[in-house]
Amino acid sequence: MAENKNQETIESKGKQINLDYFGILKRAFGMVRYHRYLWYLGIFAGGSFTSFNYSGNFNGFFNQNKGNSASAASTVNTIDSSRVWEEIVKWLQANWVLVLVIGIIVLVLVIIFTLLSIMAKAGLIHAVDQLSKNKESSFMQAMRFGWHKFWRVFGACLLVALAVTVALTVLVLPAILLWFIKPLFILYVLFMIFVAIFVSIIVGIVFEYTLRYITLKNRGVVASIKDGVGLLKSLKKETALVWLVTVGIAIACGVVLALAMILILLVLFLIGLVFYIFAPVAAIIYGIIVGVAFIVGIFIASGFVSSFVSTYWTLCFKELTA
């Protein structure tokens, strides 16, 4: 009964809301600009976890004679592949302790970054809320608050991930059945892509609202998801405009960062080239330092964008539900 009354209140307010979208955008930029710890929260909240993927082609045969038969090439490739696989298995068996240790370290790192990400999601929203009320906040205060909201945010992430998985499964199954009817398969895949994009946008918006109901309104997981869906339904126009502004933020920041990266890389490359000409060893050291600094810079830039977008969502949410 109380929940229905809450939904009615949202719908009644939706007819009178007139957000100053660009005014809120300016406030969000000001907060992120002057409170740098929001960037660090944004790094974790954005789920930034760099995975270094190595892909190699283990092929010891280079066919220079185009006249060789396809069967001969296939036989050589099969032999090479089997030898490579045998070598890999032997190495794994001989170094299983090292593999186990590396696996445990990776698992621990994944768990740690997942914990920090979930805590930072709620912590960033809380920090912006505090700053909007002219109250003190800090990185550690935000993370402590995020810890208190950990299980609710984790539950919301789990339910949303489950919903997305079910939706994708339902979408993919007809494609499998249509595999042998190529024209229908192609048409359905195009339709599936369109639906998947639309669903991902809707789910993403509901998730943003859900996080803020959990964090700012102290609601439970299921109630927050329901309220998020209700807010989206009752304020379609306002929500669409908020979302479009966030897309604009992402595109603008992406273009600026891409241009800046190209310019910086060009300058650093030229400096490295000079080092290489006169002192190759110094060039190697320079390359390592620049590489580390560049990775750190990417993390910081991603934290800025993530915190900027999250701050904008939080300020808009507060106006929509005031």
pLDDT tens figures, 156-191: 999 988 988 888 888 888 888 888 888 888 898 899
Do 317 and 209 touch, CB atoms closer than 8 A?
A: yes
| Region 32-61 average pLDDT | 63
Query: Distance between CA atoms of 280 and 292, rounded to whole angstroms?
Result: 19
Query: Distance between CA atoms of 219 and 213, rounded to whole angstroms?
Result: 6
Residue 58 DSSP one-character state: -
Query: Distance between CA atoms of 320 and 322, rounded to whole angstroms?
Result: 6
DSSP labels, 103-115: HHHHHHHHHHHHH
Which residue has better confidence, 202 or 16?
Answer: 202
Look at 2-11, 119-128, 131-140 and tell me which has the smallest mean pLDDT. Answer: 2-11
Query: Distance between CA atoms of 18 and 94, rounded to whole angstroms?
Result: 67
Q: Tokens 């929500």 — which residue?
A: 239
Taking alpha carbons only, the member of 241, 42, 232, 221 closest to residue 142 is: 42
Which residue has better confidence, 52 or 224?
Answer: 224
| pLDDT at position 222 | 93
Query: Distance between CA atoms of 63 and 272, rounded to whole angstroms?
Result: 37
Do 229 and 284 touch, CB atoms closer than 8 A?
A: no
| pLDDT at position 39 | 92
pTM of the model: 0.75
pLDDT band at 73 (very low <50, low <70, confident <90, very high): very low
Question: Is the pLDDT at 254 greater than 70, yes or no?
Answer: yes
Q: Tokens 């060009």 — which residue?
A: 266
Taking alpha carbons only, the member of 197, 206, 241, 176 closest to residue 20 is: 241
pLDDT tens figures, 75-121: 444 556 677 787 777 787 778 888 888 889 999 998 998 899 999 99
Domain ranges of the chain: 150-234
Query: Distance between CA atoms of 19 and 163, rounded to whole angstroms?
Result: 31
Which residue has better confidence, 185 or 2?
Answer: 185
Question: Is the pLDDT at 50 greater than 60, yes or no?
Answer: no
